[in-house]
Structure 1
């Protein structure tokens, strides 16, 4: 596929839909299914969420091999196989009565997540769209950003009418009937990856071995930045409403503030993706980290009942939304366009492990300190550190 010219809407629209379904059924659905499973099977919330965390850890170890396969031109096989595997595991989940089997199902689900979530889709676009990948990635994140908006109410209705087992079987049907078919029909078949022009922007002259980036301080600074922001973006949402309540806000105000985050993410992604002429990608990255730090600088000073809580939610949501774009698009600019999938896999491994531990770590910090003040202070410290490491990263990666 040509790296320039008109947007190849077939693959972009297909991946937008499949990411919406994959995130809706494999990520956001779990929160709705915890309560009915706990009631019917007698398993605790801790036991259930532990299995989900293991899936995130498992996905970290599949990230690199999945990226390498996509770099070699096997994106269709990887993503189609991921959807088939997800559907099979969902069927097994719907039938399970054994907790050890449930844990094994979610360990295997990590492989499906690695093949279906953003990193895999972005790598497919980078390989097949070339310079158009930036716009395609933006479109995918805009559509997939509505996964919770679409699937939370939809799955809630299905659970009420068909129970949690029937709902999971419906989720399996969506992964086969929509995702697997679209992946098989829209992603180009295996082919030799295109070689980029020697004049393309890159720190390394050649990445025939993608592990060459491991010797670059800029690479590790980028990993640290993403680990810190990943901890915030995964750990905070689960605890955010309790944080608002502890600070004196009503449940209605807390829910209203939480509801601002999603639209702020989508709006920021839109402005980031289609406003590249106004600001460079590196400038957007600095703004992303600065907005995160500003949000947590503001939060401790927001009095109970103040509308400023909406400003915090908007700043946090905007930063979170922009971060997805920066993580996807900046590595080729910093480390070269070759072996995109493998490099993203190496970045994703420590990030996903940290993300898996974040909700539990935030809860443990709250229990140890006796309030969420320590969690807010930790988030502020991590946001400031991520800003510092990102700026230093840009300085080290700057071309001579």
Structure 2
């Protein structure tokens, strides 16, 4: 479809708010709720965390069919249905005392993640905004980037006031009364498959998303996304103990952690509104290079040094920019046709890898005895993602020149 004459602020605002609430009530609330659950039910943190990994796995399984439904014009049904399901599952979680039921709930919440997190919302915006997609997606990531800032303290207050079960019921009500309503009212109804003109090098088979599977550029982009996704999932879980082990005080480690969020938002702002200064491909190179700098610097930072804030700023900026690169570069590389399915095909291996990474980092730490091996692995993954991204650009350029 052609680009709208001006930004449809109602759609962008509604989706941005819904994604912020979805991440806050499902992704970030989990970390606060498992501690009182552990005290009351006696389940270990390992058992509780396994449910979250299960959710990431099920979200991977459903990412491609969800993308296909959105490409067919069913974005409103997918996202509204996902928010209604989220409300039902969070309410069921509030009443459960049975571990197998808890696992089933989180398997279902993985389906919810596939339906209401960034990727489906990006696909909806790509189908509606045309040439304004970059600006709309940037605005969404800026708003949703505050999910942890809003919902970690809010969930803490709710747990203190109502207990973890009562807090879950409030979070469920937010999904039903806010997210589902916003999505139902503001996302356009089914209009048939979304069609876009594709670049010349993909137009011959643009109707079949499987065409990208024969593209070297696609697989290099997947490798980049997997490596970056593993870092972005493993580091938040292990950063504080890693820094404490290296001699930083707990306060300093927490302060460094706190820098990551603002760095993400600042980088997204500069990325989205500085398109005249740097192309998406240039932004991608910068994204990978910042992570290489961050993890190349980390082992050499002495305990107590302010340079740890520089590491956090580099890492946070790279993490924030990667969200936009993942959303906006695939259409430039592979065409805008079948955006949702192609994003799902990229997300599937990324989410599987992300599900395993926190546990894998823990195993490496236990085997090595310190976090040195984890830091080295993060540097190698960051460097590997940069190499894969450069190969991706070279393969894409070669394909275009044929």
Secondary structure of the 1:205 match is: helix
Q: Which residue of 1 aligns with 2:296?
A: 297
Q: Which residue of 2 aligns with 1:219?
A: 218
- Separation in structure 2 between the aligned mates of residue 100 and residue 119 of structure 1, nearest angstrom: 29
Q: How far 1:196 sits from its partner (Å)?
A: 2.4
Conserved in 2, the CA contact under 8 Å of 1:20 and 1:143?
yes
- Separation in structure 1 between the aligned mates of residue 115 and residue 192 of structure 2, nearest angstrom: 20
Q: How far 1:101 sits from its partner (Å)?
A: 0.4
Query: Are 1:137 and 2:137 matched, yes or no?
Result: yes
Q: How many residues align?
A: 399
Q: How far 1:201 sits from its partner (Å)?
A: 6.6
Q: How far 1:5 sits from its partner (Å)?
A: 1.9
- Separation in structure 1 between the aligned mates of residue 18 and residue 194 of structure 2, nearest angstrom: 25
- Separation in structure 2 between the aligned mates of residue 92 and residue 334 of structure 1, nearest angstrom: 42
Q: Deviations over 1:197-245 (max 9, x none)?
A: 35x4754533211011111111111001000000000011100001111
What pairs with 1:255-294 in structure 2 (closer than 5 Å)?
A: 255-294=254-293
- Separation in structure 2 between the aligned mates of residue 393 and residue 262 of structure 1, nearest angstrom: 28
Conserved in 2, the CA contact under 8 Å of 1:76 and 1:187?
yes
Conserved in 2, the CA contact under 8 Å of 1:138 and 1:270?
yes
Q: Which residue of 2 aligns with 1:165?
A: 165
Conserved in 1, the CA contact under 8 Å of 2:73 and 2:194?
no
Query: Are 1:80 and 2:80 matched, yes or no?
Result: yes
Q: How far 1:195 sits from its partner (Å)?
A: 2.8
Q: TM-score normalized by structure 2?
A: 0.98
Q: Which residue of 1 aligns with 2:175?
A: 175
- Separation in structure 1 between the aligned mates of residue 281 and residue 202 of structure 2, nearest angstrom: 14
Conserved in 2, the CA contact under 8 Å of 1:202 and 1:334?
no
Q: Which residue of 2 aligns with 1:15?
A: 15
Conserved in 1, the CA contact under 8 Å of 2:220 and 2:388?
yes
In angstroms, what is the RMSD of aligned CA positions?
A: 1.0
Which blocks of at least 5 consecutive residues in structure 1 are unaligned? none
Q: TM-score normalized by structure 1?
A: 0.98
What pairs with 1:1-400 in structure 2 (closer than 5 Å)?
A: 2-197=2-197, 200=199, 203-398=202-397, 399-400=400-401
Conserved in 1, the CA contact under 8 Å of 2:72 and 2:194?
no
- Separation in structure 2 between the aligned mates of residue 319 and residue 110 of structure 1, nearest angstrom: 26
- Separation in structure 2 between the aligned mates of residue 151 and residue 250 of structure 1, nearest angstrom: 26
- Separation in structure 1 between the aligned mates of residue 206 and residue 100 of structure 2, nearest angstrom: 42
